[in-house]
Amino acid sequence: MSLNVMTPKEVTQKVFNKEELFILDVRNESDFNDWKIEGEHFDYLNVPYFELLDGVEEILDKIPADQEVLVVCAKEGSSVMVADMLSDAGLNVSYLKGGMKAWSEHLEPVKVGDLHDNGEIYQFVRIGKGCLSYMVVSNGEAALIDATRMTDIYLDFAEGIGAKITHVVDTHLHADHISGGRTMAEKTGATYWLPPKDAFRRYFIH
């Protein structure tokens, strides 16, 4: 019997739609307390994987049978094993594809507005880290603002809507993520814009 898998994109939609989800997080308690998947109607149980090596019998009564259940770990492997044991015990569960690493890197494009002269603005939500980047599209050209290091999503998205990225902008030095701005400019041949003070700090201060 094949296990159910849930992608970061599917979990993101549940966050946006304020759906219910029960998350069994099998990372260490300190990692769980530092950072977890957050949703308005999500419930949680944190039991470290090493406590479940001999079986899941002791936690079965803590997992709802009437709610969608997602097993989460750091990189996927542990959650697959726990989900498999829970499935064998008769529960309908899924595991998070790619684990929390994939969750931290997922970018969800959301259209947030139209320009007056034939264009659109898209917001890329890095929901696992609370970061935002933007793409402004007009007449087949796109400006990318505050790109993260996960550059493929922007390239694929622009190609999907038939736009060429011609400008890349970093509005400030980022404390919350590694900028992908310079890489994007090199990949696309776009003009790279950033504040002069940040340019000095980025390239000349070590």
Positions annotated as catalytic residues are: 73
CB 36 within 8 A of CB 14: no
- Phi then psi for residue 106, to 5 deg, are -70, 135
CB 41 within 8 A of CB 67: no
CB contact set of 128 (below 8 Å; sequence gap of 6+): 8, 37, 100, 103, 104, 105, 106
- d(C-alpha 154, C-alpha 183), whole Å: 12
* CA-to-CA separations, 156 to 13, 32, 165, in angstroms, rounded: 20, 32, 11
Which secondary structure element, helix H or strand E, spans residue 47, and what is its range? none
Tokens of residue 190, six digits = 């776009």
CA dihedral 157, 138, 176, 13 (to 10 degrees): -50
